[in-house]
Structure 1
């Protein structure tokens, strides 16, 4: 697994977040921390914004129990790792299907073991290059995700530009396409009309009119509303 796994850290104790961040940097370089929050409300915003693959989540917090977050977000494509000083929630966590339950203070060996198991489960789930099914009229296209360079909307149609210089036009909105691809962290909605695969980005302009240059040479605008999120996900 070459791509980094994205994660957010949620804990009401700043020291706990700092300590976990240090442990991940030292022992789990395959994890990219994309956000940190100290409340359930902040966690919801972070999940909706970054679509992380992992949420490290404290249970006991002043404004609500960590299980409240699980009831308010779609965890289909998210692995939950509880980080807590309380052992009495283990059975409840198992019933909720969380990936792991790490007791504070977090042991580095246990953290590494947890991440190794998580990576193994992801590989078993996707043993081959993942593909997406896109229907166009009476034909279904089966496309490898890593072959999609970008998607561009045109009214109720969307153009998919592939790395083979092939373009497929489908009668689906860009939002519908985004829902099919959003679990793959390579894809980022950068503009109302553009969804791009960051693996095909060669340069990023942060000026008055922010934009991206793709490997194909095409220039893609970044909307003002999305620029902060895009800049945090793309490093050029």
Structure 2
């Protein structure tokens, strides 16, 4: 049976989580609850949960302070927040699930199912949490992003990403070594995350690493030729903005 810990400072919300878990998951055990940093650290160390629900803001601090006092990270995390918290970007870079309050039952159940599945295939969250804390702390960029596929999680150096291609709600990452990673998220989210790392969109369906462009081919409307030989079309609608960004590099 999988063990779950709830780190949340509002008692009524804790009760909601417990009801949803008991109604939808017969194979989990709620081992305890906490609403403070110290209480959360104690609960996780002593209870050794497989999955932890973590509200970002706690009574006396936040969940990142909890994580800084815990090692190793042999559990999966589902973050919870009442608003578009400044830490959401760090959470997205690390491929953790998060739920906005008030909790939507469908999103809650889906997040728990995802966590249960990843516990079975990849129970260790060490690299994910390390990347999360690197992005969260200070102004230093981690330089890495966690890409979660159906089979595994990849911690990728952002500088090694050549370009990304969108296919509806899926995104394929093409890496410098010719490796490809397919994730089940739309490219819009990644465009927002990677813009500070020199990525731009020459076309609605493509996101390119501007530092890996070999040349611009002006024939047939225009193409970006990447260092790995990939040819990326430039749409007429995005051409002027894209070339302007390229000139600033």
What TM-score, normalized by structure 2, do the two folds share?
0.46
Return the TM-score normalized by structure 1. Answer: 0.48
